[in-house]
Chain A
């Protein structure tokens, strides 16, 4: 593997649009909320919006950079890059594109942006993004006809085998949501700010046994953005930069999107063990150096498997790790200190990166004292996913 140039780019601005319930921002439209997020990030950075000269997106984002560039008054449109594939696994890929673009001189200021309005209900699709009655793509022919319909089902299959192999319990899944809700209580941007109990979790509607409604993230609308530039350019901007220490987008062998046919040792995972290996190697850091972890939490088993995949415990020990409060703010590894997809908003991962930046700036609502390294890790999705290590 080639040597990675670490700390070659940094985050200088973060921003987001208004957040809303599923479909509520449709009257504004994707372009407008994306613009709101980019402008908010520019204001945060102290950067003139027309100086943005690059765009990085993921999750097959339908908001075209060319349209955004016109709305922003972009003077020089130098770069755009998209990461293919759904379910939000592509955040590190978008960061990698932005990182590579500014580090190599393809562009000066690249904005990573994601805007989402859930008019098509991801939570009720019969195949990735396909609504009942619509034609399915060829690749869904081996899943959708068998009722493999809900995004939750992908995690539920992994959760069941995790339970069978390691004795993981639904109480432990519940603890992931309990933690997310607890962290969202004082977050004014969060949708679900009431704490829940294990009993309330177990009483919630069965979505896809072993997963219940309170194992699932919300359906929501919104947009978020972060601005990436070089450390040299960052000196002229408003905040001390948060360095992108390293990024890795390594996918697993035979993962693709049909993750039921990985090799055995990869199945009960989020699909990022090779990415974790590469990320820590590139960063010259390890799990012990991480002060805050932002784990993609579309569904609760994602957090438990991420703890294992990213080396915070042995394989199979993710359940006990959360059971004794390990992921709470006071625990061994504070996780999703903003509430995450389960409690704050579901924007397919990018809001977790915003929280990582706030933690390292020292401006988070649930600030972890002296946080200097934050990890973002993708969930289960189309390969490649991966991770990002931020540092100050």
Chain B
């Protein structure tokens, strides 16, 4: 399954809006961009209009290293695939604490696409950006992750 990607089937695409379009485009280009306050430099996720730390409404996209640490995770049965009792068909949802941020820790909710079974993932595991495209073209992607061994 080395080329396969463990992603849930049938999930909706995100809404592409001015406040988030930059991150989907960055992911398609292989970068992890999150909002950074243009006044105080604090990173924040998910996108919001104002800075929690200083109140400024001015912000830019900031490219992070793309690495992080698994904060928590779950496994959800994937009804679109057939599994076995030994290897159930499950996908994961992981909360990842991003590295290289300023301010309160920024976490992102995502998938670790090369983790396939409950033994593959632990709190504290390190992961790195592995974008998965969405939409009709090749210019938008979700910031998903892969294991760093």
Do the two chains belong together in a single complex? yes
A residues touching B (Cβ–Cβ < 8 Å)?
A: 126-127, 130, 132, 135-150, 153, 156-158, 160-161, 164, 206-210, 254, 258, 260-261, 263-264, 267
Chain A positions within 8 Å of B14 at CB level: 136, 141-142, 144-145
Give Cα A141 to B144, complex, Å: 14
Question: Within the assembled complex, what's the spacing in Å between the Cα atoms of A164 and B77?
Answer: 21
A160 to B76, CA, bound (A): 13
A164 with B52: CB separation less than 8 A: no
Q: Is B8 an interface residue (CB 8 A)?
A: yes
Contact B10 A132 (CB under 8 A): yes
Can you list 9 A-B contacts with CB-CB less than 8 angstroms, sorted by A residue number? A132-B10, A137-B15, A144-B14, A145-B142, A147-B111, A161-B123, A206-B75, A206-B88, A254-B52
Contact among A136, A149, A156, A254 with B15 in the assembled complex (CB-CB below 8 Å):
A136
Contact B93–A261 (Cβ < 8 Å): no
Q: How far is the CA of A184 from the CA of B111 in the complex (A)?
A: 39
Binding site for A on B (CB under 8 A): 7-8, 10-15, 17, 19-20, 45-47, 52, 71-77, 88, 90-91, 93, 95, 104-111, 118, 122-124, 134, 142, 144
B61 to chain A, nearest CB (A): 15
Nearest CB in chain A: distance from B117 CB, A:
11
CB neighbours (8 Å) of B75 from chain A are 206, 208-209
The distance in angstroms between the C-alpha atoms of A385 and B64, with both chains bound, is 34
Q: Which residues of B contact A147 (CB under 8 A)?
A: 7-8, 11, 76, 91, 93, 111
Q: Flag if B11 contacts A210 (CB, 8 Å).
A: no
Does B110 lie within 8 Å of A160, measured CB to CB? no
Q: How far is the CA of A144 from the CA of B95 in the complex (A)?
A: 13
Tell me the minimal C-beta distance from A148 to chain B in angstroms: 5
Contacts of B134 in A (CB 8 A): 145
Measured CA separation A104–B48 after assembly (Å) = 36
Complex formed: what's the CA distance from A111 to B136 in Å? 51
Is A208 a contact of B95 with CB atoms below 8 Å?
no
CB of A141, distance to nearest CB on chain B (Å): 3
Q: How far is the CB of B103 from chain A (nearest CB, A)?
A: 11
Task: Tell me which of A149, A160, A164 has the highest count of chain B C-beta atoms within 10 A of its own C-beta.
Answer: A160
User: In the complex, what residues of A have CB within 8 A of residue B124's CB?
Assistant: 164
Q: Tell me which of B77, B109, B122, B123 has the highest count of chain A C-beta atoms within 10 A of its own C-beta.
A: B109
Whether the pair A146, B142 counts as a contact (CB closer than 8 A) is: yes
Distance A267 CA – B123 CA, assembled complex (angstroms) = 14
- Residue in contact with A160 in the complex, picked from B74, B104, B108, CB distance below 8 Å: B74
Chain A residues positioned under 8 Å from B88 (CB to CB): 206
Return the contact of A126 from the options B12, B90, B142 (Cβ within 8 A). B12
Contact: A142 with B46, CB < 8 Å? Answer: yes
The 5 closest A-B pairs by CB, nearest first: A147-B8, A141-B14, A209-B75, A142-B46, A164-B123
The reply to whether A149 and B123 form a contact with Cβ atoms under 8 Å apart is no
Say which residue of A144, A209, A261 sits within 8 Å of B45 (CB atoms): A261
Within the complex, the shortest CB–CB distance from A58 to chain B, in Å, comes to: 24
Contact call B123/A143, Cβ cutoff below 8 A: no
CB distance from A348 to the nearest CB of B (A): 23
Given contacts A138-B15, A164-B72, A209-B74, contact A146 B109 (CB under 8 A): yes
Shortest CB distance B17–A (Å): 6
| Given A130-B12, A144-B11, 4 further pairs, Cβ under 8 A | A147-B111, A157-B95, A161-B71, A209-B90
A146 in contact with B8 (CB, 8 Å): yes
Residue pair A141, B15 in contact (C-beta under 8 Å):
yes
Q: Which residue of B lies closest to A253 (CB)?
A: B52
CB < 8 Å neighbour of A209 from B46, B104, B118: B118
Which of A137, A260, A267 has the most chain B CB within a 10 Å cutoff? A260
Interchain CB contact (< 8 A) of B107 among A140, A160, A164, A261 = A261
Interchain CA distance A137-B46 in the complex, whole Å: 14
Residue with the highest number of chain A CB atoms closer than 10 Å, among B13, B20, B72:
B72
Q: Is the CB of B104 within 8 A of A263?
A: yes
Q: List the B side residues contacting A142 at CB < 8 Å.
A: 14, 20, 45-47, 108-109
Question: Which residues from chain B contact A149 at a C-beta distance below 8 Å?
Answer: 8, 11, 76
Bound-state CA distance A144–B134 (Å) is: 13
| Chain A, Cβ-Cβ closest to B90 | A209
A139 to B17, CA, bound (A): 11
A331 to B99, CA, bound (A): 45
Contact (Cβ within 8 A) A261 B11: no
A269 to chain B, nearest CB (A): 13
User: With contacts A153-B93, A261-B45 known, is A145 near B74, CB below 8 A?
Assistant: no
